[in-house]
Structure 1
């Protein structure tokens, strides 16, 4: 058993395809297939089921072994990065998780700064729902991820604070108000993103999603689509202030009463065991955040 075989196993799980795994690893399909077969032969178990199309699925033993394999590879990467740092070199791979419904501008700004400071660090971006980011951190699929605080079971660092706003079309009955209360939202049809994060935002806005069905009218995957639907009067939405377009056309953004702050942070499974790349990324984000405190915030 060697790291190359373990890496082939994990990449096959992540891609679900021998073709994609080979492309990702820069190997031939036969090399990947041979590595998996050799690993299964040595362990004496079948890790992945194959069919005629080559699509793979985890077996029960494979699921359990995968958890240990990911942890082992993550620690091996952390060891290599620390060894390189001892020689004044900063390089390696950083697996970064994010949900674009939360902080796309923060991600872009911090990533730009990180790349400029550490050009030899390879960043692999994982995009998913908020709950997926939590699970990726816990399962060692990613090294660090943007999360909504508080986040239990993982170690997090506050990066920035945002505010939840209500977005309504021009001419809507609420558009002339200075603030919007939870009671005024209960009779409105909401247009929200298809994510667990949306339900958290609705609950923070005072809508009791767990006790009663939330007033969801539509769900869409793209924020641009949601904005267009609100503009056309199909409903209203809840949105972090950072995600507001720079120029509001046909819509009005209103703060909630009481205000609903959103704490955005970066989380790792363990700060003590985090890779050097993950630690440097958090430090870079904190430095960026400190600079932002001197800039005026754009009001809702």
Structure 2
């Protein structure tokens, strides 16, 4: 086995295409194909199933191998960065997992500051759902990821706190209420983004055994708000996911208030690359700076 073969293996697993894999590792398709065939020959197993349309899918043994290979590549990158740091250099690659529907201002702010401080660290962005990002961190697919804070079994640093609001249309029975309890929402149909299921879990265990009724899932906040305006259901979202100005709907706080906390996380402080540690430090500093600038900041938290 060699480093190039392992890179091709991961690229194929992530893209499912020889064309896209070749582009991502800056090789020709034939070179990627040869690297994979050689790797399979050396291991004596078939790592991918080929389809007639040219795509590939991991076999069962390929799935098992993938996590090990990702750890090898991640630690190899960490070794390179450690060596460069010893010479006073800050360079390399950082794989970052994020959630597309959650506060783009937050991610943009941290990335802008990180790029200014570490211009030679290349950031590769992966976007997925909350549970996917968590699994990417654990499996080593990404070096750092955006998670619900505090995160279980991994190291997270809180960067944002956002209050959850119930969103209802005009004429709804709750429209004029100053606050609403979870008990009052048990029979309501919800419209939620897929990432929003985690927000509902965060709101506590007072839903009862059956939990809330989710009638629709939508891909983005704009669609959700439009559906709420049409009376298709209500929603429960953190303020950070909502636009500054909204018409035709009411935002009602929960009683007692509930908050969603986000943080950036790494799998292990000891095994993290210098780039991952620098990113965590940058994110923490950015969050503290934003909190100090916010007149409505919750003590020791950042309100969005």
TM-score (norm. length: structure 2):
0.92
**What's 2:226 paired with?**
228
**SS of residue in 2 equivalent to 1:293:** helix
**SS of residue in 1 equivalent to 2:152:** coil
1:252-281 per-residue CA deviation (whole Å, 9 max, x = no partner) reads: 212111111222111111011111111111
**What's 1:238 paired with?**
236
- Structure 2: which 5+ runs fail to align? 298-302
Are the equivalent residues in 2 in contact too, given 1:203–1:209 (CA < 8 A)? no
Determine whether 1:113 maps to 2:113. Answer: yes
**What's 2:286 paired with?**
288
Are the equivalent residues in 2 in contact too, given 1:163–1:261 (CA < 8 A)? yes
Residues 206/270 of structure 1: CA separation in 2 closer, same or farther (3 Å cut):
closer
How many Å apart are 1:209 and its aligned residue? 6.3
How many Å apart are 1:132 and its aligned residue? 0.5
Task: Tell me how far apart the structure 2 counterparts of residues 231 and 153 of structure 1 sit (CA, whole Å).
Answer: 40
Task: Tell me how far apart the structure 2 counterparts of residues 167 and 108 of structure 1 sit (CA, whole Å).
Answer: 26
**What's 1:35 paired with?**
35
Task: Tell me how far apart the structure 2 counterparts of residues 210 and 110 of structure 1 sit (CA, whole Å).
Answer: 38
Task: Tell me how far apart the structure 1 counterparts of residues 220 and 295 of structure 2 sit (CA, whole Å).
Answer: 28
TM alignment of 1:1-300, pairs within 5 A: 1-195=1-195, 198-206=196-204, 211-212=209-210, 214-294=212-292, 295-297=294-296
How many Å apart are 1:170 and its aligned residue? 3.4
Task: Tell me how far apart the structure 2 counterparts of residues 128 and 210 of structure 1 sit (CA, whole Å).
Answer: 29
Task: Tell me how far apart the structure 2 counterparts of residues 32 and 210 of structure 1 sit (CA, whole Å).
Answer: 53
Residues 284/50 of structure 1: CA separation in 2 closer, same or farther (3 Å cut):
same
How many Å apart are 1:187 and its aligned residue? 2.6
Are the equivalent residues in 2 in contact too, given 1:205–1:256 (CA < 8 A)? no
Aligned length in residues: 298
TM-score (norm. length: structure 1):
0.93
